[in-house]
Chain A
């Protein structure tokens, strides 16, 4: 399986994703420069975290117009696997590949810490190997992770089971006190209707290495490779 990690000007988790995939997922992985337009050789595209274009104007707003994005959109529409992490999630929202928008955290402060996530659905290739309701310990690091969508949009999300992760407490209970940023319904990650595009604020690439404290992030990458294997043999 071949992963491609897109590098926008200002991406800063690009190398972290690359390293985690290479070191711990044992898959082949390459960087994709944001001016590049050829994506068809990759099996999964990663839009990494960071501050693309300084996050000036709005997070992800300028990156969305990078040359590579037209092709990412085509790639995704053809059913290709795309995972957007943190800033990558924000870019997916700005580009319309996923519904909704990000507001500033209700604390109006950047927040970096470990949180716990509840796996809401295992219907996506990104969560297929997890158990429904499984609690993952994964770090967040963002200023704008307060997910917002209008009522109609939210109904759609729920109806199509597009909510993939919710912030929860250590026992898996979803409550206001376990919401780190004010996100609607504690939403931490959503997918497209078809399930081939995942956007999530927490950083799975930061917790793939036992030395760093948690390896729960690795489970998401492993789910991707296992799902891919199944898709190949099916």
Chain B
């Protein structure tokens, strides 16, 4: 079965995000004072083949831990995982 997974990788909450801070400041300079905080991350879309949704999820987590995410400073969320029909794939 084909699946599509969406993973969002961000810096851990305790890790300083200089990009997010700078973007927030710039928005304040542009008078968007309502903006309280900005955190920048990466969005990773993965297409994969797996025997079940459970296995697909396992595989995605594994790739995240092994490669996609630097667990020393980053964390991730598996935002969506859904089967794809053959036609779409």
Contacts and interface: CB of A to CB of B under 8 A. Distances in A.
A20 to B, nearest CB: 29
B19 interface: yes
A173 interface: no
A40 to B, nearest CB: 24
Interface stretch (A52-60, A94-102, A199-207): A52-60
Nearest to A66: B29
Interface in A38-76: 53-54, 56-57, 62, 65
A57 B23 contact: yes
Interface residues of A, number: 6
A56 B19 contact: yes
A65 B23 contact: no
Interface of B is mostly: helix
A43 B30 CA distance: 29
A11 to B, nearest CB: 15
Nearest to A53: B22
Contacts of B19: 54, 56-57
A82 to B, nearest CB: 22
Nearest to A63: B26
A66 B68 CA distance: 35
Nearest to A57: B23
B30 A56 contact: no
Nearest to B21: A56
A56 B26 CA distance: 10
B40 to A, nearest CB: 7
Nearest to B17: A56
Interface of B: 18-19, 22-23, 26, 29-30, 40
